[in-house]
Structure 1
């Protein structure tokens, strides 16, 4: 990938570049800041650090005499100034390798230790040009692509009336999506930027398809836009879209707020969970069209939560969890038995009620808007993977929140509220729904135990493993229904669950 070049007309442009790159870099990145005295290296570094800290008042002393200054931020940063370095071997004494293993290293005057710095570093070469500066950013393709992506987002904001807007990290999730909070320069209300580049195809698994295709995972932002339009047309609180670039996967959307359905200690707020269950009942009371027109040329068809999608997700248990748990792969016989059991369970769903399901309707994706009334208090986000499937799925997702423990009394209140609203809305087959609830709970939790291991082993995100005990507790609840006995017996036989008599 060729170097990226930008013209920095003034100090404000240098500060903006520092803020933009604070959203592009990650732990393990070394950034070499090359340029003469007065080129703007320190200005860039100061802006970078303050943006990463989200603190304009952060003290950023020059490390000219100390040689290194460290910052414990969202990503740890070590700021090196090597101007007074006598020999490149002194980098070891400054703890460079350790700092790089834990976070980001910003290096001013990299020329003093050129032979000791990582070969895969990102280099910003800043030179004077007329009254401003020119910066050339070079580095390995993967790192440079992240830089280019952040600068493309800046160009998007400029093109849609938000020049000089301030960008701050909001969140990332278990996928490739990331979110920023955008503060317009005119002081108007903040907005959310959704950064969702197109998925790259993975290895072919079956029927000539890769995982995202089999599981119906959104591969671009079109499904989000379509479902958003649908929800708004039905008066649910989804974010309005201010600007969009479907090809690049960049959306500027309404900021619904930052309050969720958990308290400051991370515990469920009962009223908010119960009202979320009520919202699902209202959503399920009206049938959803399967085709949604996004623009003159694009129609999104909401995919079915079909057999292939259900089974590819449940396979995460045998592909990831079981090998991790036992230290050896699942046997072919175990895989065949497991697949046959799920075929039988999925056959039961032929009589299920189906409608729109969000797929991950739980605490990270629900916003609480206390100033509103009724169901308008519940803001909906992160629904790009929505499908048409058993209505029980999202109720299971909420009542058994994957990120927080729901005590039985609250789970009962949510279920009672949902069931009462459905009965009040017309004919409703409660017995079939409850069977489906247990079945969808089992499907979801079999998927999750595999996802937690995959996130740890493949993606280097071990923090998700803390959810494993909760997920198994939820799975045990799901398997208590008589229709799930074949799956429960298989889990006992493989050692995934331990019988009560063995305890």
Structure 2
């Protein structure tokens, strides 16, 4: 795959390259005739663990815009080279807006209403399903990456499969979930503050890995974010009218997600030399520890005790010296 010619064919000038996140995507802010835009390079189309295609971005973007939400307008597209030029929502995420003094409750209630619009809208796009997705398989990263570093020893055969089976048992005990479109990465740095009030005050980005899945997943991502502390009154406000089933799946999926990140952080450091995510153990560990008080998670609490797992901040362990205990086929 060649670099996209979009930048050079249309007289755009580069303003700045944006910091890269935990994916292979890169963004560059560009300018032409006083108008800014973003050049989005979605990365390699092969040879990486999780391929992101600009062709996945387009239909989801158009669908979000069709239901009245602010997703970026697509100005130019280069599917051959997996790139696009899209609308620039500016530099202020809702996280930054709150730091600048915008009312936190207003921001989170608006984000919650955006999720309600998404969950209530009919979506007939051809998208992956959470149950068969790579993301669901990746929940085993807690067992494959975090536990060997924690214990300073290789896992016994079948350990990750046993971990997944334990979660399957918990999920069966709480019944089915309501399915809807799932953003997958709905957090305060993927929501851009556009000013004003109402649904259009927030722009939605980084939705190209969207799929169908549990209607509680995105709210967990928003309220139990590794990047931001959310006050209890805001969590209560957004959860107070949810059903028991929603709350049960919220707790189960949230805890799976946090545990996956405990392992994912080690994987980022070992495989991609991205150690900056180590700082988030201080926020993730309390999420898991508090969740263990929920009766729904009693089998997980028992499993941890049986396996002798005491959760710790892996950044304070010799994770580099223990990396050889991680299996070669860890996902």
Say if 1:263 and 1:269, in contact at 8 Å, map to a contact too.
no
2:235 paired with 1:411:
yes
Aligned to 1:197, the other structure's residue is in SS state coil
Indicate the residue corresponding to 1:66 in structure 2.
Answer: none
Following TM superposition, by how much is the alpha carbon of 1:406 offset from its aligned partner in structure 2, in angstroms?
1.9
Q: 1:481 aligns with which of 294, 304, 324?
A: 294
CA apart distance, 1:310: 5.4
Separation in 1, partners of 2:12, 2:198: 37
Question: Is 1:471 paired with 2:290?
Answer: no
Q: How does 1:104-503 map to 2 (within 5 A)?
A: 152-153=3-4, 155-159=5-9, 162-184=10-32, 186-187=33-34, 189-201=35-47, 212=50, 218-263=51-96, 269-289=104-124, 291=125, 301-307=126-132, 309=134, 311-332=136-157, 334-348=159-173, 351-371=176-196, 373-416=197-240, 419=241, 430-497=243-310
Q: CA deviation at 1:302?
A: 0.7
Partner residue in 2 for 1:36: none
Give secondary structure in 2 for the equivalent of 1:182.
strand
TM-score calculated relative to the size of structure 2 = 0.86
Contact 2:174 2:248 in 1 (8 A): no
Give the CA deviation at 1:350: 5.4
1: CA distance, partners of 2:109 / 2:293: 23
Q: Secondary structure at the match of 1:388?
A: strand
| Larger gyration radius, structure 1 or structure 2 | 1
**Contact 2:141 2:263 (8 Å CA) reproduced:** yes
Instruction: Identify the structure with the greater strand proportion.
Output: 1
Report if the CA contact (8 A) 2:72-2:205 is conserved. Answer: yes
Task: Report how many residues are paired.
Answer: 309
Aligned to 1:9: none
Contact 2:37 2:86 in 1 (8 A): yes
Tell me how far apart the structure 2 counterparts of residues 183 and 386 of structure 1 sit (CA, whole Å): 29
TM-score after normalising by structure 1: 0.58
Structure 1's 311 and 370: CA in aligned 2 closer, same or farther, altered over 3 A?
Answer: closer
Structure 1 residues 471 and 199, CA, compared in 2 at 3 Å: closer, same or farther? Answer: farther
**RCO comparison, higher one (Cα < 8 Å, 6+):** 2
Report the CA distance between 1:402 and its aligned residue: 1.8
Q: Secondary structure at the match of 1:171?
A: coil
Return the alpha-carbon distance in structure 2 between the equivalents of residues 306 and 454 of structure 1: 23
> Structure 1 residues 350 and 244 mapped into 2: Cα distance closer, same or farther (>3 Å)?
farther
Distance (Å, rounded) in 1 between the aligned partners of 2:82 and 2:160: 37
Alignment gaps of 5+ in structure 1: 1-144, 203-210, 213-217, 292-300, 420-428, 499-503
CA drift of 1:264 comes to: 7.2
CA distance in 1, matches of 2:69, 2:142: 35
**Superposed CA offset, 1:164-208 (max 9, x none):** 523421221111111111111x22x21011111234245xxxxxx
Give the secondary-structure state (helix, strand or coil) at the position aligned to 1:239.
coil
* Residue of structure 2 equivalent to 1:95: none
Give the Cα–Cα distance (whole angstroms) in 1 for the partners of residues 244 and 270 of structure 2. 40
For 2:292 and 2:122, the matched residues in 1 are separated by: 29
Q: Rate the CA distance shift 1:336–1:306 in 2: closer, same or farther, 3 A.
A: closer
**Secondary structure in 1 aligned to 2:287?**
helix
Tell me the CA shift for residue 336 of structure 1: 4.0
Which sections of structure 2, spanning at least 5 residues, go unmatched?
A: 312-331
Whole-angstrom CA distance in 2 between matches of 1:381 and 1:397: 14
- Note the alpha carbon deviations across 1:223-280, whole angstroms, 9 max, x for none: 1111101101111100000001012111100111222222479599332122111211
Distance 2:54 2:175 in 1: 31
Match of 2:314 in 1: none
1:351-385: per-residue Cα shift (whole Å, max 9, x none)? 210101111100110001114x3111110000011
